[in-house]
């Protein structure tokens, strides 16, 4: 088995190296073609083709761009890491603006759940590689740029060879480990970086390592580690799948990334700043000035601990640095129940209490019959003093000082089993521990969570259950 794993890993590395080599060859071909076009243009007096003047004319008459700026865009090579909610609008506008070479890095395939916000993908392309789906659309929009697909998830071993062929990097990813990897690689290869993020109704945008200077040069712009020296706790990280996202919010941040990329490629660097967008606030935007490079930064200081060698050797472990995002098993096996066993138990004559700890907005989308909604945020916000006073209270007063979020069904019945369910089987474990800490299992009452949550319930019990 180990030999097969090693063979697969070796083949993946060889494929990635071959794809990187193909990307370089495509870039060289484009340079040669551009040189040929330039030579031809010199003989025809104008530096661009007739169709390009018409296509980009509205952009070129803007004073901040002009013909010199358009020619800079035409010769620029931009890499977009992530062909999702941020990468799609960013790529769309950069291709439309006439950026000469656009590279796309993404190892995922198009899913139906992507389509409300990832505007380069279509229903007909569900199941297709995202980079291929995106480039198909971009070529229809503008055939002039060279489009290069990197159909794989970015790794520390491959990042330097991929980044080396580009002038500017856009971080359009959604997890901290990849963000640190992208920023570190950009600094080590002297590439400016436009970084953005979005979740629910809010977004953030920064231009990092601009101007790009070698590690140790204080004139260089700050990097991601300068702004966030330590990653957020792994348990606090929400993805769009868990926290949700409003499509135009992530679209706004992706369009702003394209705008900042055009500014980086055509104008002098602006002072570093963090732009914060909030769709339901007034004003919509706030800007915070960023400090210069941190003198003790792990990657851009005079004595960095992160180098190209540590990157490619694997000694810089980004997953370890950011912490595992895998759900923890907080309960013992006897405190959990499978979806099948839950279905059999809930359909028996023994009355049970079903608590759904998803937030109300999710509970309103779909819910199990007779289930009670107690959002996990409500449970976690209850004071610890309530639980301690309850567990240590006189047995004759055991229902006093219980938190107000407990429904009457729980306090009036001391024998009915309690099943706790959530979306994926993580929050339900926390809720079970909380209920037991309140002493609700004193009389031998069974309190368990449904393993895997409603996603597992849909998979093994009810395929008709809505998937959102």
Q: Domains of the chain (ranges plus CATH)?
A: 50-322 (3.40.50.720), 333-381+405-461 (3.40.250.10)
* 392 or 359, higher pLDDT: 359
What's the chain's Rg over C-alpha atoms?
27
- Is residue 175 marked as binding? yes
Report d(CA 209, CA 183) in Å as an integer: 8
Report d(CA 259, CA 22) in Å as an integer: 29
Above 80 in pLDDT, residue 393?
Answer: no
Q: What is the pLDDT of residue 386?
A: 44
- Is residue 14 marked as binding? no
Q: What is the pLDDT of residue 35?
A: 65
Say what percent of the chain tops pLDDT 70: 90
Q: Helix or strand or coil: residue 355? A: strand
Above 50 in pLDDT, residue 227?
Answer: yes
Q: State the average pLDDT over residues 2-17.
A: 75
Q: pLDDT tens across 296-334, in order?
A: 999 999 999 999 999 999 889 998 899 755 556 789 999
Q: What is the pLDDT of residue 237?
A: 78
Q: State the average pLDDT over residues 278-305.
A: 96
Question: Is 8 one of the annotated active-site residues of the chain?
Answer: no
Above 90 in pLDDT, residue 397?
Answer: no
Q: Which of 60-64, 382-386, 415-419 has the lowest mean pLDDT?
A: 382-386
- Is residue 223 marked as binding? yes
Tokens of 83: 């062909």
Q: In the 8-state DSSP scheme, what is residue 286?
A: E
Whether the CB-CB separation of 190 and 213 falls below 8 Å is answered with yes
- Catalytic member of 88, 172, 322, 422: 422
- Is residue 117 marked as binding? yes
**Angle at CA of residue 416, ends 414 and 419, nearest 5°:** 120
Q: pLDDT tens across 422-455, in order?
A: 999 999 999 999 999 999 998 889 999 999 999 9
Q: What is the pLDDT of residue 385?
A: 41
Q: In the 8-state DSSP scheme, what is residue 44?
A: T
Q: What is the pLDDT of residue 349?
A: 62
Above 60 in pLDDT, residue 398?
Answer: no
Question: Is 240 one of the annotated active-site residues of the chain?
Answer: yes
Say how many C-beta atoms besides its own lie within 10 A of residue 222's C-beta: 22
Above 50 in pLDDT, residue 396?
Answer: no
Report d(CA 313, CA 315) in Å as an integer: 6
Question: Residue 384 — φ and ψ, nearest 5°?
Answer: -70, -25
- Is residue 130 marked as binding? yes
Q: Which of 210-219, 353-362, 389-398 has the lowest mean pLDDT?
A: 389-398
Say how many C-beta atoms besides its own lie within 10 A of residue 457's C-beta: 22
* pLDDT confidence band for 169 (50 / 70 / 90): very high
Average pLDDT, the chain: 90
- Is residue 322 marked as binding? no
Above 60 in pLDDT, residue 394?
Answer: no
Report d(CA 172, CA 179) in Å as an integer: 9
Range among 124-138, 328-342, 343-357 with highest mean pLDDT value:
124-138
Report d(CA 53, CA 327) in Å as an integer: 54
- Is residue 181 marked as binding? no
* pLDDT confidence band for 232 (50 / 70 / 90): confident
- Is residue 297 marked as binding? yes
Say what percent of the chain tops pLDDT 90: 74
Report d(CA 376, CA 370) in Å as an integer: 18
- Catalytic member of 8, 88, 240, 322: 240
Q: In the 8-state DSSP scheme, what is residue 192?
A: -
Q: State the average pLDDT over residues 131-149.
A: 98
């Amino acid at each position: 088995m180990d030999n097969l794993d090693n063979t697969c890993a070796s083949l993946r590395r060889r494929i990635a190296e071959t794809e990187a080599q193909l990307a370089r060859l495509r870039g060289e071909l484009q340079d040669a073609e551009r040189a040929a076009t330039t030579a031809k243009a010199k003989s025809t007096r104008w530096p661009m083709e007739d169709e390009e003047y018409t296509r980009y004319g509205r952009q070129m008459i803007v004073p901040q761009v002009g013909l010199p700026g358009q020619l800079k865009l035409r010769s620029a090579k931009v890499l977009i890491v992530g062909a999702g909610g941020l990468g799609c609008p960013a790529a769309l506008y950069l291709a439309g603006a006439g950026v000469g070479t656009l590279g796309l890095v993404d190892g995922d395939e198009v899913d139906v759940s992507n389509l409300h916000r990832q505007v380069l993908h279509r229903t007909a392309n569900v199941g297709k590689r995202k980079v291929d789906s995106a480039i198909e659309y971009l070529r229809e929009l503008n055939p002039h740029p060279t489009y290069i697909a990197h159909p794989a998830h970015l790794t520390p071993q491959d990042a330097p060879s991929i980044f080396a062929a580009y002038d500017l990097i856009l971080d359009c990813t959604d997890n901290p480990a990849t963000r640190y990897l992208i920023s570190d690689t950009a600094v080590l290869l002297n590439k400016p970086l436009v970084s953005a993020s979005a979740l629910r109704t809010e977004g953030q945008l920064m231009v990092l390592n601009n101007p790009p200077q070698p590690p140790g040069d204080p004139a260089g712009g700050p990097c991601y580690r300068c702004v966030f020296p330590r990653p957020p706790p792994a348990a606090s990280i929400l993805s769009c799948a868990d926290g949700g996202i409003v499509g135009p919010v992530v679209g706004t941040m992706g369009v702003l990334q394209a705008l900042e990329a055009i500014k980086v490629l055509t104008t002098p660097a602006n002072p570093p700043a963090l732009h914060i967008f909030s769709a339901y606030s007034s004003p919509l935007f706030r800007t915070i000035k960023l400090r210069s490079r941190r003198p003790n930064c792990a990657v851009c200081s005079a004595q960095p601990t992160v180098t190209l060698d540590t990157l490619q050797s694997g000694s810089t472990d980004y997953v370890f640095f950011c912490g595992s995002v895998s759900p923890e098993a907080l309960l013992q096996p006897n405190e959990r129940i499978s979806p099948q066993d839950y279905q059999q138990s809930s359909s028996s004559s023994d009355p049970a209490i079903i608590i759904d700890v998803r937030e109300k907005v999710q509970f309103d989308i779909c819910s199990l019959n007779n289930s009670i909604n107690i959002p996990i945020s409500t449970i976690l916000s209850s004071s610890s003093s309530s639980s301690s006073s309850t567990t240590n209270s006189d047995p004759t007063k055991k229902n006093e000082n219980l938190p107000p979020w407990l429904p009457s069904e729980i306090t009036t019945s001391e024998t009915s089993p309690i099943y706790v369910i959530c979306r994926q089987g993580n929050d339900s474990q926390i809720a079970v521990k909380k209920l037991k800490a309140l002493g609700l299992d004193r009389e031998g009452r069974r309190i368990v969570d449904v393993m895997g949550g409603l996603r597992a319930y849909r998979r093994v019990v009810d395929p008709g259950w809505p998937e959102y």
